[in-house]
Structure 1
Amino acid sequence: MKKLHVHDSHAPDGTLKTKLIRMMKIMTALMWLGLMSAYAGSNAQIRMNIDLTGGNLPELFQKIQKQSNYLIVYNDEVMKLNKEKEINLKLQDKTVDEILRTALRGTNLTHLVSGRQILILTKERLAKMQDTLLTIRGRVFDTHEPPAALPGVSIRVKGTMRGTTTDADGYFTIQAKKDEVLAFSMVSYTGFEHTVVKADRSLNVSLKENVSALNEVVVVGLNEQQKKHIASSLSTLNVKSNIEGKPITTLSQSLQGGVTGINVTQGSGLPGGDAATIKIRGISTLGNSNPLVLVDGIPMDMNHIDPVTVESVTVLKDAAAAASYGSRGANGVIVVTTKRGVAGKMSIIYDGYYGVQQATALPQTVDAPTYMRMYNEASFNNNPTNTLPFTQEQIDNTRNGMDPIANPALAFANTNWLDMLIDDAAPISSNSLSLSGGSNVARFALTGNYTSQKGIIPLSNMRRYNIRANTTISLSEKFQVNLDFLAIRRNTQQPNRPSASGNSGNRILEDMYRVPPTIVPKYPEKGGRLFYGQYLDVVNPLAYAEAGGTRSLEAGQTSINLQPKWEIMKGLNFRGQFSFRLNSDVNRDVRENFNHFDYYTGNLLRTWALQRANTMGRTTYYYVGSTLDYTLSKNNHRIFALAGYSQEETNSGAFEVFSMVSAYAKLNYSYKDRYLLEGTVRTDGSSRFGPGKKFGVFPSVALGWNLHNENFLSESKVINNFKLRASYGKLGNDNIGLYRYQTLINNGSGVETTYGNPDITWESVNMLDIGIDLGLFKNNKVEFTFDFYDKRTNDIILTPELPMVGGFESEVPVNAGVVSNKGWEASINYNEKIGEKFSLSFRPGVTYNKNEVLQLQGRSIVTATTITQVGSAVNSVYGYRSNGLLQQNDFDANGQPRIPVLPNSRPGDIRYVDLNGDNVIGAEDQGWIGNGVPELTYFANLRLAYGGFDLEALFQGVGKSDATLFGMFAQPLDFSADGGVPTTYYADNYWTPQRTDARFPRLSVAPANNKVSSDFWFQNGAYVRVKFLQLGYNFRAALARKLGVEGVRAYLNAQNPFTFTSVKITDPESRGYQWTYGLVKMYTVGLNVKF
């Protein structure tokens, strides 16, 4: 049915009612025409014959429409003067445009073609329209690689009846005004809207395909697979929930509370040292058990890349999933892909945030009068005959605020070092600008980022510059090349007083807990000299902050990644990769010469010498590899086969060169999308092993059964997805030191310092995994995943001691250890949409892992505080078991103990348990006492959205573990070591004859018996933490357009705002010593703008 014209002959001309009725009728007609146009064919080049004698324009229009699918629209007002014009035409093989031009010659009318619609209007009206209408030509693609043109895409100007569809090659032409919105839509694709600007003449657009959860494509390492064809165990991080629009400084932080089966622990919040430690399914070896991390196929530290550039994160957890990486995948694999450009209009996106940081746990110390009293008490407890360090007069004068500089013998300072030096609003900011776009010939994604973070301690900061350029070039329909470039520069700085723990803290923080509050921070300047209060060799933390200098690290990384792909024939692809990465770093220690003088006498006390120390490092990495893959789908069978070869080399200088050569093959088979089979075999040759031991073979197999595709479940309205999985495989680990198979000799003595073992070979990991995936209700409203795994590492490399009489100065490496990790993991994903505006998602997950040593060579591995022994977890806690504190009734009237105690024990000391019953507390009573690694971890992610608002929360926690209190937090005032100022919590909870149920022992300046490792210092390390709370708002499109942009999102974020735990003094996650820079709370405001 075709509408020729719209008219109104009942209302008087010129009235408002007439105009309104006419407008309504025209809009109704155009709406109908717009709907009809979706079904019309392409007629731009159709030619026809016209034979009309004595006719008029409406009759001509009727003839045109009968011979084509064009729809001609006009109204009576336009035709008033031309309706009766006599038409005499006899035209052969003419286009519609040529016919109309001939027919309308000599009139005040003209025509305008928009898609399949032709509007008849006056020339005057057209002239006015042409002042505002823009003719936009373009093309629509999908987001596949290489991109394919999309025919039949509907394009309409929102709020009008103007519209068109793309032709067979994806091309379109449409007219629109500035600030009007073009809406692109197509069945099975996500719609796209574009706001017209004056510069729009050519417009390319990409539409992303809507896929179900089962058809979703997942990066599984060397290739991509649909979820429904995967039989191995892997997890994908929800990038939108855990990364996008979140103020995270390192990518590893996003995995905490995002994926089951992994233990993520952030041990520090120090700028540049706040990366989390990741263990996938437990600690697999006594050596390095960190997972392999690949960013676009290149091994690298993922914490240095800009999180904004991340497209996907996949964690490969079982042997079948990680088998493609052989020896490198023994501890699990994390595969990160970065964003690439898609064909379409260039997109410009700004993403940034600004915030402030505070410590999550910063125990306060006592004031000077309390310190003086407790110091006196500790000194008296140690030796009642000693003269007390402070007189009561000095304590009283200090409490009353007497000037300590004017009266140094009568009063002392009352300094709070934490209040003086800790910044409780340390700023942090990040700014990223991304550009992406291209065509079917070339596509690009360019992102630049600058992140700045100031620490809560003086002189600490981090600045990071990050540039990534990903380019895809289609040289032909069958051949394309990815060329990626990455450059990172990272500058970190901290006071020139680093801790023994390296990046996790700084001794200036320790000094705040060590230097007494009685020390004057800084005296008035005198004679052009600066004077700082002195405390032993430490001086004081303010002196280090102002005159102690800095330790800085300038780290750079550049990489280039070339990946060609050639479709040799349908289903057969060749892929190559050449990667080069250069890491360089410079450490600088800088301090000016500074003389410390006594304020009162002017005597020189000590000199901080001028320091200029540089150390440099450089590491190069090369990778060359290629794969050939073939996909065949025929009837009910689907086969994917892959074979590949690679070689790589890492050179860190100083003769530290490591190389590996590998070959691998993989086969995936699916029958009716019901029965799945995965098989992988890989062989690796490693230079870390000697002749005859370099190569290892690592096979794996996985089976899957999609029960929901069986006839007995295919009609179920409840079960949408039901898959059973099982896998078993073997992986290798060569992550040991270099040249362990060779014997090294001391140049000076000629003694063999490192005794090599030419028979040393691969550690091997055998893993069994059984899993279930369940999706319920429409669109998998409820998803449930459960996995049980049994992971056993054999031939772990140990270094038992050799007898000195044999002439050996070191240990010999042997393959002798066995470690087991057994556990399970479960997650639920619930999504609900209520009405048009409200949506809810809830994603909880829980992981349990039991770690146990099954075999060692010889005796247990023991340090002062840890033990690795058969039957216990790796690096368990070693020491004495305790039974509270000794009380007065544990001693007789003469002070002699009635129970076994350590020598010189007194009431208030720790009461140790005589485990072997020999009535003596000794080394034989020490052993395994606990485990500092939690066996249970869990998280829950909640998101609520209403209209443009959304509220997100992430809860994360761990089960019971033994969190040990160390150092000055456990033993303040210990002047046999480094001293230390008691915390206020300690001051209220130490043992006295009047407070016998205390948490801490009696005070002592030499607490030798209480310093040994024991479970007395354990706290229950369980906690629940709100990792972040975020409130966001997406500005309405109309408002965004008024601001001159396509989209705006703003958010408020609180990171680590609340923690629920019984742990005192330290943060329950970072734990540590007095120098440990714990986690920080962070409060930020963020903005995302799309131009």
Structure 2
Amino acid sequence: MKLTALLLTVACLQLSATGYSQNISLSGTDIPLDKVFSSIEKQSGYFFFYKYKEIEQATPVSLNLKNIPFKQALELTFQNLPFTYSIEDKTIIVSRKPGSTLAKDESLTIRGRVFDTYEPPVPIPGVSIIIKGKNTGTTTDNDGYFTIKAEKGDVLVFSMISYKKREYTVTRSEKSLTISLENDVAALEQVVVTGMSEQQVKHIASSIATLNVKSNIEGKPITSLSQALQGGVTGINVNQGSGLPGGDAAAIKIRGITTLNNSDALVLVDGVPMDMNYLDPVTIESVTVLKDAAAAAIYGARAANGVILVTTKRGVPGKVSVTYDAYAGVQSPNQIPDFVDAPTYMRMYNVAMVNSGGQPFYSEDDIQKTLSGEDPINYPNTDWADLVISKYSPITSHSLSVSGGNELARFAITGNYLYQDGMIPVNHANRYTLRANTSISLSKKFLVYLDALTIKRNTLYPNRPLDNGGSRILDDMYRLPPTVLPKYPDVEGYPTMYGRYADIVNPVAYAERGGSIKYEFAQTNINLQPKWEVFPGFNLKGQFSFRLNSDVYKAQRDNYYFFDYYTNQLVQTWAVQRDAYSQTRDTYYYLAGSADYTLRANKHQVFAIGGYSMEQYNNGYYDISSLLSGFAKVNYSYDDKYLLEGSIRVDGSSKFGPGNKFGYFPSVALGWNLHNETFLKNSSLIKNLKLRASYGQLGNESIGLYQYQNLISATDGTETSWGNPNITWEKVNMFDVGTDISLFPDKSLSFTVDYYNKVTKDIILKPVVSLVGAVGKSPLNAGSVRNTGLEATFTYTPSLGKNLSLTFKPGVTYNKNKIISLPGGDLINAVTIQREGYALGSYFGYKTNGLLQASDFNADGTPKIPVVVTDAAPGDVKYLDLNHDGSITDADREVIGDPTPKLNYFADVSFSWKKFDLEFLVQGVGKYDYSANIAGKSSGYLWNPLNFDYSGGVPTNYRAANTWRPNNTDALFPRLLANPNRNTLYSDFWLFNGAYTRMKFIQLGYRLDSKRLKLLGITSLRFYVNAQNPFVLTSLKQTDPESGGGSWTYGIMKTYTFGVHVGI
């Protein structure tokens, strides 16, 4: 009131009749009154004085003022309003007309702006904004602004051609609401991330594949991104070798194994090499797989095994969005060994002794006392699997994401916590991740990404003496007989005593008293990417990335005591308390710059990019490797019909010697969009038909350091390794031809088929160890490997009505691997061999023909055929004399198997009905040779079931039932022996068909979508239940065909979870 009095006083002192000569122009429909006042102020120099709340409730006005005198413009503005005005000098005082009342208006005014989701975001003019269920609406102006009145609870629908519709529920008035609309890939050609850039699919002539993030990642209880690739993309062999908490990531091979060195694919996250499994899957925006040379050649030296590009989510202009994703559940082993009980074990032990010419070890009285269970201390019957393996272990994950911003700055921040408990004692893992992605528009032409990621992972394992491997406890479980007591009753004044058997450590002992081993991993990533649009179509980009890794090892062990199984005496072992600590750190630097230009002229479109990169890795032990690279790529399309791609990359690596440091990797690709030709353009059947062909060369520098130099021991000056200054890059030449087809007007049926021929030359080999000084021979480029394969993906999305949808997506990959050149002959490494004409890493051993039977022996017991030992008998393995020299020797060994499956397949099926969704994924491989007695798998419970020499294991009931006996001659396994070495020679007898079909997951979800929830600010709410790896179909028994099984293997876990997604 004091302000009003002051203004009136000043106005009275300075009355003037001037100022009414200005002309006003103002046109528009439903213009808010305060906007009208603002426009008149700008044109006239006058200022309005009014009560904002009254003006805000006023009905918007529609005006068409074109160069109207100031006074007349005011009269036209106020003529239908419940307001009057007076002019005091340069102030227009607005007040209510005497006796007038404002109609009660419960409507809310929503003012805002609409942007797209590009970086930097651009305002969208002409967006239609309709109140759902009402004939009221407006559109955005040329700058993307809009104003609309709505009631609380109304739903605003934003729509625009080529953009996805978006709904917004009104809860209050908004002065600066920001809405972002996503491109509709069904209306526009899909844009995907490719090498160093983004391109429309219609302009790509190379072989790439994109992972459906929504189907394979979002709302799925996966602990690592690599697991999501299994069953998501053809051409990829994803093998999850373990379910160990903190170690359950999968190994990924793209289009076969190409080398004896590292065959893992290159993974780039936001342009920087890193382990994708450290990422929180919630933060993933897109995953693109570059499969052929034309797509991957721009990454040169690191692309020989294929490239996986991962981008993370960024903030978009709009209201701050908060999402919470969580799941909790239990994990359960897929296989728990079904060991024989102690009486069965004792009888089998006696049979083995008799078969070996000895006497039974256990008396029948001992067996009966064990069977009765009356004296479990002296006659134990222990189920070690029941003591060691937990049938259920918890798992939980929580992710909280906050994102938003405006046209000047956007952000996306996500924190995640993951906890996994193990199925073995003293075993769990937890992971903390925090990612902050920031986009800053310093101007309309200059954009900067500043991203930070920090990761902390702690993993705890039991501390087994003489071994630091967490899963070694499983090996002890397989090898300890059921006749050993886990722990003796406590006696006052004495320490707790544990049962002991030879050199096998009691897992109960070190689970309770052995302490723990803890690995602490921490990583910090900083990624800075500026982008400057110098002029339309021409951009300059830069990137600097820094990564710091820290690994800490902590070990602690307490004292504990054993009771000796053999001497029946108390003995003290592992009694020294031990603490250990070590720490390592490594750093990685990446610096890159590029320039790209897009030219569109009539029917021609050219995209060109060129740049450089420098990177350095230091593992903290003075081992430093560097890579210096330059690259260029051109994409050309004519009339969206004819496509041409070409690229060249030059890499210089410190891993090679002078004169061999640089490699040159070119590629070319051709494409033809036949559906754009006049003879197909109007086809009602064929809506997309593209033919593609490419050829290029890739490099591989994934080898050890200093292989071009001799290494000398700092201790005594002796040479520890011989180098070769002439070794150079492994080179991969790849030819690819493929087609992409979509049928029917809605493109509901689509196919993608590729054939490839991939030859790796100059493979770096290390010949067998020299007999002089036991120093390995120097490495050399001396081998070639061919991978040929066929990939096919089929997608069917029929139209089933408004409330029902179906997507059926099967895929199959066939890859054949063969060594085509190996100068110097075979390379044999124990039970594997590299030999021309066979697959890399083929199994090498004896061929067999089942088991020896009585018919293979003469009446006097002498064998009719060559045998491996003179006292061979029925029930032993029947080896074949391949060279027909009358004896079984090393000369009879041959290639006996291939450890890599040729066929991989999957089928993803998803349904949705109203608010329910159901999805399941089936994945499997065709026949491959699973070895039961290769080192590292140690399935001794099969081939050495009684552990006489402590290298085998306790038999399972399956092994016991299928053992050769005189009354069971058609058995799967040999007879029992005290020394089974004659039957454990590496041979195809112990190779089994590893083919399997696994249900990867089944998931049922329900989405709550109500007006009441939106009024509470909840934009999305979904619940789901998920069963991951619930079952597998395979002929293998008591082992997991994917992880490889065996007594040292921590198998893949079944996981059952309940999850929720909340959006605010």
Q: TM-score scaled by structure 1? A: 0.88
Structure 2 equivalent of residue 1082 of structure 1:
1055
Structure 2 equivalent of residue 663 of structure 1:
630
> Is contact 1:498-1:507 (8 Å) kept?
no
Structure 2 equivalent of residue 93 of structure 1:
73
Q: Which amino acid aligns with 1:844?
A: P
Structure 2 equivalent of residue 881 of structure 1:
847
1:403-802 matches, cutoff 5 A: 403-405=375-377, 408=378, 412-497=379-464, 506-528=471-493, 529-596=495-562, 603-801=570-768
Structure 2 equivalent of residue 14 of structure 1:
none
* Counterpart among 303, 306, 326 of residue 329 in structure 1: 303
Determine if the alignment matches structure 1 residue 997 to structure 2 residue 962. Answer: no
Q: CA deviation at 1:326?
A: 0.4
Q: CA deviation at 1:864?
A: 2.3
* Counterpart among 1003, 1025, 1049 of residue 998 in structure 2: 1025
Q: 1:95 to 1:532 in 2, by over 3 A?
A: farther
Structure 1 equivalent of residue 265 of structure 2:
291
Structure 1 equivalent of residue 116 of structure 2:
142
Q: Which amino acid aligns with 2:513?
A: A
Q: Which amino acid aligns with 1:947?
A: K
> Is contact 1:582-1:621 (8 Å) kept?
yes
Q: 1:608 to 1:890 in 2, by over 3 A?
A: farther
Structure 1 equivalent of residue 3 of structure 2:
none
Q: 1:396 to 1:199 in 2, by over 3 A?
A: farther
The SS at the match of 1:378 is helix
Q: 1:123 to 1:959 in 2, by over 3 A?
A: farther
Q: CA deviation at 1:601?
A: 8.0
Q: 1:122 to 1:170 in 2, by over 3 A?
A: farther
Q: CA deviation at 1:179?
A: 3.8
Q: 1:1003 to 1:627 in 2, by over 3 A?
A: same
> Is contact 2:902-2:927 (8 Å) kept?
yes
Structure 2 equivalent of residue 912 of structure 1:
879
> Is contact 1:366-1:982 (8 Å) kept?
yes
Structure 2 equivalent of residue 968 of structure 1:
940
Q: 1:593 to 1:122 in 2, by over 3 A?
A: farther
> Is contact 2:153-2:1011 (8 Å) kept?
no
Q: 1:521 to 1:135 in 2, by over 3 A?
A: same
Q: Per-residue CA shift, 1:131-169, capped at 9, x if unaligned? A: x54433221111111111112223344355553322221
| Identity over aligned pairs, percent | 55
Structure 2 equivalent of residue 80 of structure 1:
none
Tell me, in whole angstroms, the C-alpha distance in 2 between the residues paired with 1:237 and 1:648.
28
> Is contact 2:169-2:1015 (8 Å) kept?
no
Tell me, in whole angstroms, the C-alpha distance in 1 between the residues paired with 2:443 and 2:310.
28
Q: Which amino acid aligns with 2:957?
A: T
Tell me, in whole angstroms, the C-alpha distance in 1 between the residues paired with 2:545 and 2:465.
35
> Is contact 1:702-1:726 (8 Å) kept?
yes
1:831-910 matches, cutoff 5 A: 831-903=797-869, 904-910=871-877
Tell me, in whole angstroms, the C-alpha distance in 2 between the residues paired with 1:123 and 1:963.
91
> Is contact 2:30-2:62 (8 Å) kept?
no
Q: 1:996 to 1:597 in 2, by over 3 A?
A: closer
> Is contact 2:770-2:776 (8 Å) kept?
no
Q: Which amino acid aligns with 1:564?
A: P
Determine if the alignment matches structure 1 residue 280 to structure 2 residue 265. Answer: no
Answer with 133-142 or 999-1008: which moved more: 133-142
The SS at the match of 2:975 is coil
Q: Per-residue CA shift, 1:675-704, capped at 9, x if unaligned? A: 100000010000001111101111000000
Q: CA deviation at 1:177?
A: 4.2
Tell me, in whole angstroms, the C-alpha distance in 2 between the residues paired with 1:968 and 1:853.
32
Q: CA deviation at 1:602?
A: 7.3
Q: 1:398 to 1:201 in 2, by over 3 A?
A: farther
Q: CA deviation at 1:593?
A: 2.4
Tell me, in whole angstroms, the C-alpha distance in 1 between the residues paired with 2:355 and 2:691.
67
Q: 1:618 to 1:95 in 2, by over 3 A?
A: farther
Q: Which amino acid aligns with 2:192?
A: V
The SS at the match of 1:1013 is coil
Tell me, in whole angstroms, the C-alpha distance in 2 between the residues paired with 1:121 and 1:914.
118
Tell me, in whole angstroms, the C-alpha distance in 1 between the residues paired with 2:880 and 2:99.
104
Q: CA deviation at 1:1084?
A: 0.7
Q: Which amino acid aligns with 2:557?
A: R
Q: CA deviation at 1:1039?
A: 5.1
* Counterpart among 980, 983, 986 of residue 959 in structure 2: 986
Q: 1:972 to 1:135 in 2, by over 3 A?
A: same
Answer with 433-442 or 744-753: which moved more: 744-753
Q: TM-score scaled by structure 2? A: 0.90
Q: CA deviation at 1:995?
A: 0.2
Structure 2 equivalent of residue 1050 of structure 1:
1023
Q: Which amino acid aligns with 2:408?
A: V
Q: Which amino acid aligns with 1:336?
A: V
The SS at the match of 2:630 is strand
Answer with 886-895 or 713-722: which moved more: 886-895
The SS at the match of 1:533 is strand
Determine if the alignment matches structure 1 residue 210 to structure 2 residue 184. Answer: yes
Determine if the alignment matches structure 1 residue 264 to structure 2 residue 238. Answer: yes
Structure 2 equivalent of residue 170 of structure 1:
144
The SS at the match of 1:834 is coil
Tell me, in whole angstroms, the C-alpha distance in 2 between the residues paired with 1:90 and 1:675.
61
Structure 1 equivalent of residue 11 of structure 2:
none
Structure 2 equivalent of residue 304 of structure 1:
278
The SS at the match of 1:270 is coil
> Is contact 1:318-1:769 (8 Å) kept?
yes
* Counterpart among 973, 984, 994 of residue 1011 in structure 1: 984
Tell me, in whole angstroms, the C-alpha distance in 1 between the residues paired with 2:148 and 2:75.
20
Where structure 1 has 5 or more consecutive residues not aligned to the other structure, the ranges are 1-35, 49-60, 70-88, 107-119
Structure 1 equivalent of residue 16 of structure 2:
none
Q: Per-residue CA shift, 1:66-125, capped at 9, x if unaligned? A: 9489xxxxxxxxxxxxxxxxxxx995123754333477799xxxxxxxxxxxxx999656
Q: 1:95 to 1:1080 in 2, by over 3 A?
A: farther
Q: 1:124 to 1:1085 in 2, by over 3 A?
A: farther
Tell me, in whole angstroms, the C-alpha distance in 2 between the residues paired with 1:95 and 1:831.
61
The SS at the match of 2:789 is strand
Q: CA deviation at 1:476?
A: 0.3
Equivalent pairs, count: 998
Tell me, in whole angstroms, the C-alpha distance in 2 between the residues paired with 1:361 and 1:499.
27
Tell me, in whole angstroms, the C-alpha distance in 1 between the residues paired with 2:705 and 2:823.
21
Q: Kindly report the root-mean-square deviation, in angstroms, between the aligned alpha carbons of the 2 structures.
A: 2.7
Q: 1:121 to 1:330 in 2, by over 3 A?
A: farther
Q: CA deviation at 1:527?
A: 1.8
The SS at the match of 2:679 is helix
Answer with 641-650 or 967-976: which moved more: 967-976
Q: Which amino acid aligns with 1:257?
A: G
Q: 1:150 to 1:909 in 2, by over 3 A?
A: same
Answer with 291-300 or 91-100: which moved more: 91-100
The SS at the match of 1:986 is helix
Tell me, in whole angstroms, the C-alpha distance in 1 between the residues paired with 2:63 and 2:264.
73
Answer with 828-837 or 760-769: which moved more: 828-837
Structure 1 equivalent of residue 366 of structure 2:
394
Structure 1 equivalent of residue 92 of structure 2:
none
Tell me, in whole angstroms, the C-alpha distance in 1 between the residues paired with 2:195 and 2:1032.
36
Structure 2 equivalent of residue 109 of structure 1:
none
Tell me, in whole angstroms, the C-alpha distance in 1 between the residues paired with 2:417 and 2:1026.
20
Q: 1:122 to 1:899 in 2, by over 3 A?
A: farther
* Counterpart among 813, 827, 849 of residue 779 in structure 2: 813
Q: Which amino acid aligns with 2:486?
A: P
The SS at the match of 2:168 is strand
Q: 1:122 to 1:338 in 2, by over 3 A?
A: farther
